[in-house]
Amino acid sequence: MQESDAQQMLAIAGLAARLMLQNGAETYRVEDTVLRMGCSFGFSGIDALAFSTGIVISISGEPCHQAVVRRVSRRNTNLTIVDEVNALSRRVAAGNLTMQETWDALKEIEKTPSTKPWQMVLCAGTAAGLFAVMFGGGALEFAVAMVCGLLGQIVGYLFRKEDLQLVLSSLFGGAVSAIVSMGAFFLFRLDMSSLESIISGAILPLMSGLMMTNAVRDTMRGDLVSGLGRGAEALLVAVMVAVGIGVVIQFYLPTDASVAVTAPPFWLSVLCSAFATLLYAVLMSVPVHSMPITAVIALVGYAVYLGLWEAAGEQTGLFAASAVICMLSEYSARRFKMVTTLFLCTALMPLVPGLGLFRTMRDLVLGNYGDALINGANTLFSLGSIALGIALGSLTVRNTMRALRRRRS
Tell me, yes or no, whether 116 lies in a domain: no
Indicate if 88 and 225 belong to the same structural domain: no
Q: Indicate the residue among 90, 110, 130 that finishes a domain.
A: 110
Tell me, yes or no, whether 115 lies in a domain: no
Indicate if 248 and 382 belong to the same structural domain: yes
- Phi, psi dihedrals of residue 315, rounded to the nearest 5°: -65, -40
Residue type, 37: M
Average of per-residue pLDDT across 247-276: 79
DSSP of 16-79: HHHHHHHTT--HHHHHHHHHHHHHHTT-TTEEEEEETTEEEEEEEETTEEEEEEEE--S----H
Range name among 271-285, 293-307, 388-402 with the lowest pLDDT average: 388-402
Query: pLDDT category, 364, cuts 50, 70, 90?
Result: confident
Query: pLDDT by residue (tens digit) across 147-203?
Result: 999 998 888 778 776 666 777 888 888 899 999 999 998 898 888 888 889 998 998
The mean pLDDT value of the chain amounts to 87
**Is the model more confident about 181 or about 73?**
181
Indicate if 331 and 206 belong to the same structural domain: yes
SS3 189: coil
Tell me, yes or no, whether 150 lies in a domain: yes
Q: Indicate the residue among 69, 90, 110 that finishes a domain.
A: 110
Indicate if 131 and 202 belong to the same structural domain: yes
Give CA separation, 38 vs 64, 95, 171, in Å: 15, 12, 42
Query: Does pTM top 0.85 for this prediction?
Result: yes
Tell me, yes or no, whether 409 lies in a domain: no
Indicate if 242 and 353 belong to the same structural domain: yes
Tell me, yes or no, whether 407 lies in a domain: no
Indicate if 102 and 225 belong to the same structural domain: no
Range name among 156-160, 161-165, 226-230, 290-294 with the lowest pLDDT average: 161-165
Indicate if 241 and 368 belong to the same structural domain: yes
Q: Is 368 exposed, middle or buried (0-12, 13-18, 19+ CB in 10 A)?
A: middle
Q: What's the structural domain count of the chain?
A: 2
Indicate if 21 and 76 belong to the same structural domain: yes
Indicate if 157 and 96 belong to the same structural domain: no
Indicate if 68 and 131 belong to the same structural domain: no
Indicate if 149 and 84 belong to the same structural domain: no
Indicate if 106 and 242 belong to the same structural domain: no
Angle between helices 79-93 and 99-110 (to 10 degrees): 170
